[in-house]
Structure 1
Amino acid sequence: MCIIFFKFDPRPVSTNAYRLILAANRDEYYHRPSKPADFWGNHNEILSGLDMETGKEGGTWLGITKRGKFSALTNYLQPKIVLDAKGRGSLVSNYLTSDLDCYSYIKRISEEGHLYNPFNLLTAEFNNTKEDVIYYYGSKGEREPVKLNPGLYGLSCSLLDTPWKKLQYGKKLFADIIKKSHDIAREDLVQELIKVMNNEEP
């Protein structure tokens, strides 16, 4: 299942601290074609992977821009997919290419959530002149987007921080890495996070 762990620390006092540390895994069908993360040719300030499946080209599940806009998506686990629903991958792509702020965009999406198969969406802005902010909306949860407080979060194929064992265990491993993030080099931090995401312990 898709899974995201992240620590949000808006404008940390310590110059050593990170404003966002995120580790994510897209659990998708192996046969589904996609491009690895790269800057877009037509929007070269956007960095993300891209769906290449016929009919879903250009959608993505996680991306960021040089201006500090960030978004991520997970699908909500459900027994049956509605085949004629709108593609969820456009939720991230459309935000990254829009001029809307993160709240205005996710608020609009919360009013259109019924048009898609169930999903979870994060939209954020990391801006040097305004406050850093992250909003969350789960189409199976509250009707209004939620502004997230600083902290450590886990998101999978249910609502934010649903206490599934896999999510709880992953959050613990992630939290252990975060505790030493000030004391290790960035490259080492990345490798430690990759180990967490590659963990195969049942």
Structure 2
Amino acid sequence: MHTGLDMEEGKEGGTWLGISTRGKLGALTNYLQPQQDPEARGRGELVAHFLTTDMDSLSYLKKVSTEGHLYNGFNLIAADLSTTKGDLVCYYGNRGRPEPIVLTPGTYGLSNALLETPWRKLCFGKKLFLEVVEQSHVLPKDTLVNQLLDVLNNEEAQLPDPAIEDQGQEYVQPILSKYAAVCVRCPNYGTRTNTIILVDADGHVTFTERSMLNKDPSCWETNTYEFMLQS
């Protein structure tokens, strides 16, 4: 099982993205809201629990949806990847529909609003992503990973964006010019880890994670892990 780890005090050990050798993949984003409930459950447990459960992705999200009110806003992708049974990819957001949905094959964008909410930075990021994917069949794998990392690290603010301002209200105003980029870089808030997960038709997984060292935006470490799905 490969995941990033949350280091925030009181929430250590949770994660926002991970994949297991059994083909379970979980991904979480926070939903931008002006006020956070400090007593709410830690959202990082949602991915960690899915990666270790025997429940399939849709059943797990149905269970989570019954407890969605106990958390601050979040979006959760849960997937069961299998070279023999096919893939099942599902989504639930606790600020949207009451029931999770099964995603049909396609390209989706998820930021800090509900799935496919057309924030300008989301639309811009999807465009950059698709430009890379369209040539992926002719790119060496290392080059593909590096180009996808470049997408994740794009700092061009996509302004104006009334949708972000309306959802984030006064909370987001001080950092709006940074928050409106695919990669957020603020003194005490922003992107500190990039993760690329590639899964080929044979079930070969390449998990690449680029992490900031010592909270220094100029110092990064990249690690890659490879394994076969056991499903």
4+ long deviations beyond 3 Å: none
The answer as to 2:113 corresponding to 1:113 is no
Task: Write the letter of the residue equivalent to 2:147.
Answer: E
Q: Structure 2 CA distance, aligned partners of 1:129 and 1:180?
A: 27
TM-score by length of 1: 0.76
Q: Structure 2 CA distance, aligned partners of 1:189 and 1:114?
A: 39
Structure 1, unaligned stretches of length 5 or more? 1-45
- Equivalent in the alignment of 2:185: none
The answer as to 2:65 corresponding to 1:101 is no
Task: Write the letter of the residue equivalent to 1:135.
Answer: C
- Equivalent in the alignment of 2:44: 89
- Equivalent in the alignment of 2:170: none
Aligned residues, how many? 157
- Equivalent in the alignment of 2:16: 61
- Equivalent in the alignment of 2:207: none
The answer as to 2:3 corresponding to 1:51 is no
SS at match of 2:144: helix
Pairwise CA distance, 1:51: 1.4
Pairwise CA distance, 1:84: 0.4
Pairwise CA distance, 1:99: 1.2
Pairwise CA distance, 1:55: 1.9
SS at match of 1:92: helix
Q: Match for 1:179 among 134, 138, 142?
A: 134
- Equivalent in the alignment of 1:199: 154
The answer as to 2:105 corresponding to 1:160 is no
Task: Write the letter of the residue equivalent to 2:71.
Answer: Y
Structure 2, unaligned stretches of length 5 or more? 158-231
Deviations along 1:155-187, one digit per CA (max 9) or x if unpaired, are 000000101100001110101111001111111
Q: Structure 1 CA distance, aligned partners of 2:7 and 2:133?
A: 34
SS at match of 1:128: coil
SS at match of 1:63: strand
Task: Write the letter of the residue equivalent to 1:157.
Answer: N
What is the 5 A alignment of 1:135-150? Answer: 135-150=90-105
TM-score by length of 2: 0.67
SS at match of 1:59: coil
Task: Write the letter of the residue equivalent to 2:84.
Answer: T
Task: Write the letter of the residue equivalent to 1:47.
Answer: H
Deviations along 1:138-157, one digit per CA (max 9) or x if unpaired, are 11111111100111110000
The answer as to 2:70 corresponding to 1:70 is no
CA-atom RMSD in angstroms: 0.9
- Equivalent in the alignment of 1:39: none
Tell me which moved more, 50-59 or 127-136: 50-59
Q: Structure 1 CA distance, aligned partners of 2:148 and 2:9?
A: 32
Q: Structure 2 CA distance, aligned partners of 1:50 and 1:194?
A: 19
Structure with the higher helix share, 1 or 2: 2
Pairwise CA distance, 1:52: 2.7
- Equivalent in the alignment of 1:124: 79
Pairwise CA distance, 1:128: 2.6
SS at match of 2:123: helix
